[in-house]
Structures are given as structure tokens and as C-alpha cells.
């Protein structure tokens, strides 16, 4: 195994090997915002960096995956330096034989159970994949596709396959057609609008072939959403955070807020508090039966760091004549 095969995810995220889950999460969020495609349109370098950061977080944020990754790192180091005398390619570390992988990519693809990567065929996006045998759990809705009735597990002689397919928020929101490479076979799979992280799609008869019965199982595609720089999920609701100024909070205002359909005007009531959420009905994520969920807009009052001399004078005048004391009730607090 070449030394260049290995990717140091700790270096990619800029954290130490003893970093806590919270430190890893904070580092990921910072880098994801920096390199997100929406912030860097048509920037191939940023796009590659964004994918690398997501891959690193996907591994290091999961305790089991992180443990195996760390063990693989030790194996790779020994392999690149030459094993001690008497060692063989079947070196076992922590009960796991890493010598079965021809490259770091092989190890990561199997660890994540994902598509090995995209290539372009005739301008179309094509994915190859690695599979795991067994019955996937927690099947969830994809309206308009075949249901899961008649599913047979491994014990019945049918071998099903499972793989992860990454989607951007835009692809998941509107629906997208993917061209998947299954060995020498290329199939078209339509992902319906409204897919969410963890959603599963069943593609009948495209799984592994049982060598004993020659029956072919089904392929289950599990959706993985690439993190977005602005939108997130809270259950079925789409949520976002919008900064407002102190004067907008006091006096009320009409502001523009991004939604999946574009910008909309939102009226802020006077006296709105930081952390309060406004509900935009029907502006959220597509739901079954053709309806739309809601979008929740959380407002955060952000005071300006740099103000002009005139602004400072007016703020001082307001402070001098202000009658409201938000801490007045604290005088009554006792143990």
C-alpha cells in the first residue's frame, strides 16, 4: 500500500488525534461553511476540499468508524515502513484484518458503505458502489416507488445490497435522476422530491446474486444529505437562522429571507426577541401526498461591531433616555 494512499482526517479538519466530538463538530462546521459550493460557485478546488472535509467528519464523528480508522492508520504506518521480521500480510489489529484492502479508498468505501465515487460518462454522473450483504433496517418512505412488501431476508436465499448515495439539498428538494454503475451494468434511478437523510429507496432485482440459487436480491439506496451552509432540519421542518439589527428588533421591519423557492419578504413584529422563530407555512420541505412542510426562521439580534461617530452619538442618546430595564426583576432574586 502506497504511503500516499492514506488521508489524515485529523489534519484535514485541523484537529488533534485526541480531539473531542464537540471539537471535531466545530472544526467541521467552520470548514463546511468556508468551502461550501454555494459560497464558492464553479470553484473545483473548493468543491474537492468540501467533499474531503465531509468525508473526514463522517468518519471521525462516529466512534466506531473513528476507532477502525485509527487502527487502520497504525496498520498503514507499519505497512509503509515494512513490517517487522516474521510479520505477514495478514497482520491483525484489534481483531480486524486490514490487509484485505488494496488501498485506503477500498477501506473507506467499505467503512462508509457508500458509492466509491462519481465519474462522468457522456456528461452524465455515474457512480460505482461497494455493497454489504444483509437486510437493511428502518425502511422509510419514498412515495411513488415500490413498497417493501414481499421483502426476503438473507436467510431466505436472497442477497440484498445496500449503498449510500450523497445528494445536495437542491437535488433532494427537487428530485434527481442518477445513473448508477453496477459492475458492467448502468441503471437510471429517479430520486423523488423530498428525500431526507436516512430515506431509503428500493431498486428491485439489482442486488447481489446468490451463487447457490442464482436469485438476485434488491439494492437499497440510503440517502445522505451533504450539509448546507444555511438550511437544516428539525423533524419535518426546514430551519434557518437570520441575523437582524437592534433597531429592526425594536421597531419591527420587513426583511428578505431565503427559501427553497427563492427570497420572500418576512415582516418582523416590533419587540421581537433574539432566538424567537417565525413560521413560514408551506415554504419548507416537500412531504408525502404532495404537500409542503413549514420553514422556521430563527432571528438572532446582532449588534454592529463597527459604528460611525454619528451612530455612536445616537446610541448614547437612546441609552440616556431609555426607560426599559430588562434586568429590573433581578433585584428580587434570592437564594
Backbone angles phi, psi at 190, to 5 degrees: -95, 120
Average pLDDT value for the chain: 79
Helices (H), the chain: 9-13, 21-35, 44-60, 63-81, 104-112, 169-174, 246-251, 309-321
Q: Enter the C-alpha cell of residue 232.
A: 437544516
Q: Which of 46-60, 95-109, 172-186 has the highest mean predicted lDDT (pLDDT)?
A: 46-60
pTM: 0.54
Judged on CB neighbours under 10 Å (0-12, 13-18, 19+), 317 is: exposed
* pLDDT (average), residues 30-36: 90
Q: What is the CATH number of domain 232-324?
A: 2.60.260.20
The pLDDT, as a whole number, for residue 101 is 67
Q: Are 169 and 217 in contact (CB under 8 A)?
A: no
What span, in angstroms and rounded, lies between the C-alpha atoms of 88 and 24? 35
In the predicted model, is pLDDT for residue 203 greater than 70?
yes
The pLDDT, as a whole number, for residue 96 is 57
The pLDDT, as a whole number, for residue 97 is 58
* pLDDT (average), residues 110-125: 47
| CB burial readout 228-247, b (16+ within 10 A) else e | bebbebeeebbbbebebeee
Q: Are 46 and 37 in contact (CB under 8 A)?
A: yes
| Dihedral-angle region of residue 94 (phi above 0 means left; psi in -120 to 50 means alpha; beta otherwise) | left
Q: How confident is the model at residue 40 (pLDDT cuts 50, 70, 90)?
A: confident
The pLDDT, as a whole number, for residue 80 is 53
* Digit-coded pLDDT (tens) for 8-22: 999 999 999 999 999
Domain locations in the chain? 1-84+93-102, 113-227, 232-324
What span, in angstroms and rounded, lies between the C-alpha atoms of 19 and 56? 13
| Dihedral-angle region of residue 294 (phi above 0 means left; psi in -120 to 50 means alpha; beta otherwise) | beta
Tally Cβ neighbours within 10 Å of residue 146.
Answer: 12
The pLDDT, as a whole number, for residue 262 is 94
* Digit-coded pLDDT (tens) for 140-198: 333 333 222 223 333 444 578 888 889 999 999 999 988 887 767 788 888 888 999 98
| Residue appearing with cell numbers 467503512 | 111
Q: Hey, what CATH class is 113-227 in?
A: mainly beta
Sequence-separated (6 or more) residues with CB below 8 Å from residue 297: 239, 240, 241, 242, 257, 266, 277, 278, 279, 280
Same CATH topology for 113-227 and 232-324: the answer is yes
290 versus 272: the higher-pLDDT residue is: 272
* Digit-coded pLDDT (tens) for 231-247: 999 988 999 999 999 99
Choice among 31-35, 127-131, 144-148, 234-238 with the minimum mean pLDDT: 144-148
Q: Hey, what CATH class is 1-84+93-102 in?
A: mainly alpha
CA dist 155 → 159, 208, 301, 333 (Å)? 9, 14, 58, 66
In the predicted model, is pLDDT for residue 265 greater than 60?
yes
Rg (the chain; Cα; Å): 26
The pLDDT, as a whole number, for residue 100 is 63
- Sign, CA dihedral 69-28-191-140, equals positive
Q: Where are the beta strands (DSSP E) in 208-260?
A: 219-225, 232-234, 237-244, 253-259
Q: Are 205 and 298 in contact (CB under 8 A)?
A: no
Q: Are 215 and 204 in contact (CB under 8 A)?
A: no
In the predicted model, is pLDDT for residue 2 greater than 70?
no
CA dist 275 → 230, 253, 259, 298 (Å)? 16, 16, 19, 6
Tally: H helices and E strands in the chain: 8, 16
Q: How confident is the model at residue 207 (pLDDT cuts 50, 70, 90)?
A: confident
In the predicted model, is pLDDT for residue 220 greater than 80?
yes
Amino acid at each position: 500500500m502506497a504511503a500516499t494512499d492514506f488521508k489524515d482526517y485529523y489534519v484535514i479538519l485541523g484537529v488533534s488525534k485526541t480531539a473531542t466530538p464537540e471539537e471535531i463538530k466545530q472544526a467541521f462546521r467552520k470548514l463546511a461553511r468556508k468551502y461550501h459550493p454555494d459560497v464558492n460557485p464553479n470553484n473545483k478546488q473548493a468543491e474537492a476540499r468540501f467533499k474531503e472535509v465531509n468525508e473526514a467528519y463522517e468518519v471521525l464523528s462516529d466512534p466506531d468508524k473513528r476507532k477502525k480508522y485509527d487502527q487502520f492508520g497504525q496498520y498503514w504506518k507499519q505497512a509503509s515502513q515494512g513490517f517487522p521480521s516474521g510479520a505477514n500480510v495478514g497482520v491483525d489489529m484489534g481483531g480486524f484484518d486490514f490487509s484485505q484492502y488494496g488501498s485506503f479508498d477500498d477501506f473507506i468505501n467499505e467503512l462508509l458503505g457508500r458509492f466509491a465515487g462519481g465519474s462522468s460518462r457522456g456528461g452524465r454522473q455515474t457512480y460505482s458502489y461497494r455493497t454489504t450483504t444483509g437486510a437493511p433496517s428502518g425502511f422509510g418512505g419514498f412515495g411513488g416507488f415500490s413498497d417493501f412488501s414481499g421483502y426476503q431476508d438473507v436467510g431466505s436465499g436472497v442477497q440484498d445490497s445496500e449503498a449510500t448515495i450523497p445528494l445536495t439539498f437542491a437535488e433532494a428538494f427537487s428530485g434527481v435522476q442518477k445513473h448508477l454503475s453496477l459492475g458492467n451494468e448502468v441503471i437510471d434511478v429517479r430520486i423523488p422530491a423530498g428525500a431526507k437523510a436516512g430515506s431509503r429507496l428500493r431498486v428491485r432485482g439489482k442486488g447481489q446474486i446468490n451463487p447457490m440459487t442464482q436469485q438476485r436480491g434488491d439494492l437499497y439506496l440510503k440517502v445522505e444529505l451533504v450539509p448546507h451552509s444555511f438550511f437544516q432540519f428539525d423533524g419535518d421542518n426546514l430551519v434557518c437562522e437570520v441575523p437582524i439589527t437592534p433597531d429592526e428588533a425594536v421597531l419591527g421591519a420587513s426583511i428578505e429571507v431565503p427559501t427553497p423557492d427563492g427570497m420572500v419578504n418576512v415582516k418582523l413584529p416590533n419587540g421581537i426577541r433574539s432566538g424567537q422563530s417565525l413560521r413560514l407555512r408551506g415554504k419548507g420541505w416537500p412531504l408525502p401526498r404532495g404537500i409542503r412542510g413549514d420553514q422556521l426562521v430563527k432571528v438572532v439580534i446582532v449588534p454592529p461591531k463597527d459604528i460611525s461617530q454619528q451612530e455612536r452619538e445616537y446610541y448614547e442618546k437612546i441609552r440616556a433616555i431609555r426607560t426599559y430595564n430588562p434586568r429590573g426583576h433581578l433585584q428580587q432574586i434570592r437564594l
